[in-house]
Structure 1
Amino acid sequence: MDELPIGRRVAYWRGRRKMSQQVFADRLGKSKSWVDKVERGVRRLDKFSVVYEIADVLQVDVQLLLGKDVERRPETQNCIDQVEVEEIRAALERYDQMSAFFQAVPHSPPLVEMRKAVSHAWLTYQHAKYGVLARMLPKLLRDAQAADSAYATGTEAKDAAHLLGQVYQIASSALRKVGEHELSWLAADRSIAVSQRAGDQLLAGLASYRVGSALLALGRVRPALEVNVNIANRLAPSFDRPQGQGERLSVYGMLLLNGAMAAARIGDSATVRDLLCGADQASKELGGDFNHYWTSFGPTNVQLHRCATAVELGDGRTAVEAHEKLDIVGFNAMLPERRAHHFLDIARGYTQIGNIDKASEMLLEGDRLAPSEIRCRPLAHEVLSDVLRRTRGTPPAPIAELAEQMGVGV
């Protein structure tokens, strides 16, 4: 895209952001005719101040609009930038599996190496190192696709498909975090088909969970609710069976929790209550917090979702009360991404009850624990903007500093 005129690049990113010319013009304070002329190349963009304003509205690095290489953020920022998103997109757009149908795959990494790489990617995600993950994902996707093609007809075909299904899910989760919801949906949908080939119902169930999460992020709330509940019903464990169902209980429970989040989004408190009750029963049967299939499911995660669903229902008071009753030992044992995510949820809960000081405290706690979960997520930017807007007088120095680092106007 570097060789395109700047107007074409503006049109491209406007389309990616799902903005009409009129909406884009309104946000710039320009006319629709002005935008149309810029995008067609009739009007030149010869003022850097205007280019920077356009980049701000489109939420892209100004260097992308100018067709130049983007200077990568320092490692401490650890976010996924637009260049990395495009590299992940390019990896998802490859259809090497079709090429393998006609001729042999020239090279594929050994599956033992792939297993190590996939496990490392999961842990990188669960420690909220999104920038590190973004830099490894394109190669990991290509390697997993190559392995899936190379072993398609051998005895290791299901193992290779299983690994590719996991990589698609990791990509889906990471992309959703940074607001690339359509791409997240694509990766999750790919995982469903691959997981079925792997012959693993639980992996397919988790792929459905990722699809539900992407649909929810896209505002497709009822389909998100349906896919989570329907697949949960198919995976429902029998609670009178002997032990050994830990993995099934974990996947089943996460589907119920995701369904509860969707139900909360549409204000269906009765369904939220039923789904949380089912997840709570599964967590008690499980007997503790575990990371089966990378779910971090257990009693503590159920409690975190009680808080999160209350926030989605607009009941900040209930969310805060549930937060104050958390099992601290269980909470501190959870991985950084899950804990920082919770701090962001509770920051929203405190804003709902007007306690801006506590909301600020929660954002700072999340930032200390896992900076990327706060600094890289569009939702966190919205919450911080709300906190700044409702702060009387000058914001406290730590919040002002965080806002400056995140690029959120004070």
Structure 2
Amino acid sequence: MDELPIGRRVAYWRTRRRLSQQVFADRLAKSKSWVDKIERGVRRLDKFSVLYDIADVLQVDVQLLLGREPERRPGGMTCLDQVEVADIRSALERYDQISTFFHAPPQPPSIDELRKAVQHAWLSYQHARYGPLARVLPKLLRDAQAADTVYGGDSGMLAAHLLGQVYQIASSSLRKLGELELAWLAADRSIAVSLRAGDQLLAGTASYRVGSALLALGRARPALEVNVNIANRLAPGDTRRATPELVSVYGMLLLQGAMAAARIGDSATVRDLLTGADVAARGLGGNHNYYWTSFSPTNVDIHRAAAMVELGEGGLAVETHEHLDRASFAAMLPERRAHHYVDLARGLAQVGDIERASEMLLEGDRLAPSEIRCRPIAHEVLSDVLRRTKGAPSAPVAELAETMGVGV
């Protein structure tokens, strides 16, 4: 993209961020006509102050808009810079199995080494350590792809299973950080690999990731269909099939389907899917993490709160939060809890409790900073909170806003 005119680069990143010209113009305090002229090259973009404003709105390094290599940020809190995005994209674009017709494949790590690396990546994701995870994902993808290409027999099945997991980790991380098209690609790759691994449940979790990516892309109805379709296929009707792993995957598909239904505004389907997930979770009990799903009764409750927020029922979301089992919630992984605080902040903002919405964002930041500072939705919620705060925000909120680059 280095050879493109600067206006074309602006248009490219605006599209990647799923902003219309009008919304983009509003955030810059410019007219839609001004944006259109910049993107078509009719008007020159020669003021650095304006260029930095554009980079802030698009959440990209200004060097990218200038056609230069962005600098890596040394130390501190990092999320996902464009160098890392390019590295992950490059790893996802590899087709090692085809290239082995022409060249000897690279030597992969052992299955045991790869399994440990994948487990570490899952833990990094579920503890919301997105910056460090983004930096190891490209190599982990290449290693898992090489293992899937080289190993055969039982080792080949294990390699395929691990590669499917790596694609899912990549998909979930990229979706969190706003790289939605890449998240969809990684999830789709996971489905194909899961079939080769011969694991229905891995295919089920891959379908869940596809549904999550589709929902993030604004494709709520296809997201609903894929989750419900696969959930119906996995439904543990025979109690002998109802292993904890199967119930967990089945339940998470129902929960993701409920979120898609909420986005559509179909409250009846939301209720039905949440009821089905609740029945499954009550039978399972406890706080579990089978197939890295974190499926449990408490996870059903925080999805219920999130669905209420999507339906515009912030009061019901807050009520659901008030009735959470505190001990079970405290035992959940940091990513799940901090994610819930973002949803709760949205619900509180819906009912006009801006002060408490601010507190939820601060609580999430104390628990898992990357979940607040790195997610575009958290930036949007904080921006809304600041806009609706009467007078000056509290010092902690102002400090968080400055750290996140959200205007006070």
**TM-score bracket relative to the smaller structure:** over 0.9
Paired position in structure 1 for 2:375: 377
User: Which amino acid in structure 1 is aligned with residue 307 of structure 2?
Assistant: T
Paired position in structure 2 for 1:251: 249
Q: Contact (CA 8 Å) 2:373, 2:379: kept in 1 or not?
A: yes
Pick which of 64-73 and 188-197 moved more.
64-73
Paired position in structure 1 for 2:306: 308
- Post-superposition offset of 1:69: 3.8
CA shift in 2, pair 1:397/1:31, >3 Å: closer
User: Which amino acid in structure 1 is aligned with residue 100 of structure 2?
Assistant: A
Paired position in structure 2 for 1:171: 170
User: Which amino acid in structure 1 is aligned with residue 167 of structure 2?
Assistant: Y
Q: 1:155-194 alignment to 2 at 5 Å?
A: 155-194=154-193
CA shift in 2, pair 1:396/1:12, >3 Å: same
Q: 1:196-235 alignment to 2 at 5 Å?
A: 196-235=195-234
User: Which amino acid in structure 2 is aligned with residue 94 of structure 1?
Assistant: R
- Post-superposition offset of 1:240: 3.4
Q: Contact (CA 8 Å) 1:25, 1:35: kept in 2 or not?
A: no
Q: 1:247-286 alignment to 2 at 5 Å?
A: 247-286=245-284
CA shift in 2, pair 1:34/1:320, >3 Å: closer
For 1:130 and 1:10, how far apart are their aligned partners in 2? Answer: 26
CA shift in 2, pair 1:228/1:292, >3 Å: same
List structure 1 runs of 4+ shifted beyond 6 angstroms.
Answer: 20-23
User: Which amino acid in structure 1 is aligned with residue 188 of structure 2?
Assistant: D
Give the fraction of aligned pairs with identical amino acids, expressed as a percent.
Answer: 74
For 2:142 and 2:80, how far apart are their aligned partners in 1? Answer: 18
Q: How does the TM-score come out when normalised to structure 2?
A: 0.94
- Post-superposition offset of 1:16: 3.0
Paired position in structure 1 for 2:120: 120
For 1:73 and 1:315, how far apart are their aligned partners in 2? Answer: 40
For 1:225 and 1:38, how far apart are their aligned partners in 2? Answer: 35
For 2:195 and 2:367, how far apart are their aligned partners in 1? Answer: 36
CA shift in 2, pair 1:9/1:253, >3 Å: same
Provide the aligned length of Structure 1 versus Structure 2: 407
- Post-superposition offset of 1:24: 5.3
Q: Contact (CA 8 Å) 1:70, 1:83: kept in 2 or not?
A: yes
Give ranges in structure 1 of 5+ residues lacking alignment. none
1:241-265 Cα offsets, whole Å, 9 max, x none, are 38x6000000000000001111111
CA shift in 2, pair 1:270/1:83, >3 Å: same
Is 1:147 the counterpart of 2:177 in the alignment?
Answer: no
CA shift in 2, pair 1:17/1:346, >3 Å: closer
User: Which amino acid in structure 1 is aligned with residue 133 of structure 2?
Assistant: L
Is 1:340 the counterpart of 2:338 in the alignment?
Answer: yes
Q: Contact (CA 8 Å) 2:194, 2:203: kept in 1 or not?
A: yes
For 1:34 and 1:282, how far apart are their aligned partners in 2? Answer: 51
Q: Contact (CA 8 Å) 1:38, 1:45: kept in 2 or not?
A: no
User: Which amino acid in structure 2 is aligned with residue 245 of structure 1?
Assistant: T
Give ranges in structure 2 of 5+ residues lacking alignment. none
Pick which of 277-286 and 73-82 moved more.
73-82
1:291-334 Cα offsets, whole Å, 9 max, x none, are 00100111110111111111111111111111011111111111
Q: Contact (CA 8 Å) 1:164, 1:194: kept in 2 or not?
A: yes
Paired position in structure 2 for 1:136: 136
User: Which amino acid in structure 2 is aligned with residue 322 of structure 1?
Assistant: T
User: Which amino acid in structure 1 is aligned with residue 89 of structure 2?
Assistant: R
Aligned residue for 1:10, secondary structure, equals helix
Paired position in structure 1 for 2:66: 66
Q: Contact (CA 8 Å) 1:78, 1:129: kept in 2 or not?
A: no
Q: Contact (CA 8 Å) 1:228, 1:258: kept in 2 or not?
A: yes
For 2:314 and 2:46, how far apart are their aligned partners in 1? Answer: 48
- Post-superposition offset of 1:30: 5.6
Q: How does the TM-score come out when normalised to structure 1?
A: 0.93
For 2:340 and 2:197, how far apart are their aligned partners in 1? Answer: 33
CA shift in 2, pair 1:98/1:292, >3 Å: same
CA shift in 2, pair 1:313/1:110, >3 Å: same
User: Which amino acid in structure 2 is aligned with residue 177 of structure 1?
Assistant: K
CA shift in 2, pair 1:31/1:305, >3 Å: closer
CA shift in 2, pair 1:333/1:19, >3 Å: closer
User: Which amino acid in structure 2 is aligned with residue 182 of structure 1?
Assistant: E
Aligned residue for 1:70, secondary structure, equals coil
Aligned residue for 1:156, secondary structure, equals helix
CA shift in 2, pair 1:283/1:75, >3 Å: farther
Q: Contact (CA 8 Å) 2:89, 2:182: kept in 1 or not?
A: yes
Q: 1:90-105 alignment to 2 at 5 Å?
A: 90-105=90-105
CA shift in 2, pair 1:406/1:37, >3 Å: closer
Q: Contact (CA 8 Å) 1:181, 1:217: kept in 2 or not?
A: yes
Is 1:48 the counterpart of 2:53 in the alignment?
Answer: no
Q: Contact (CA 8 Å) 1:239, 1:285: kept in 2 or not?
A: no
For 1:304 and 1:196, how far apart are their aligned partners in 2? Answer: 31
CA shift in 2, pair 1:65/1:288, >3 Å: same
User: Which amino acid in structure 2 is aligned with residue 218 of structure 1?
Assistant: L
User: Which amino acid in structure 1 is aligned with residue 206 of structure 2?
Assistant: A
Q: Contact (CA 8 Å) 2:17, 2:178: kept in 1 or not?
A: no
Paired position in structure 2 for 1:79: 79
User: Which amino acid in structure 1 is aligned with residue 185 of structure 2?
Assistant: L
User: Which amino acid in structure 2 is aligned with residue 368 of structure 1?
Assistant: R
- Post-superposition offset of 1:23: 6.5
CA shift in 2, pair 1:15/1:393, >3 Å: closer
For 2:60 and 2:363, how far apart are their aligned partners in 1? Answer: 27
Paired position in structure 2 for 1:366: 364
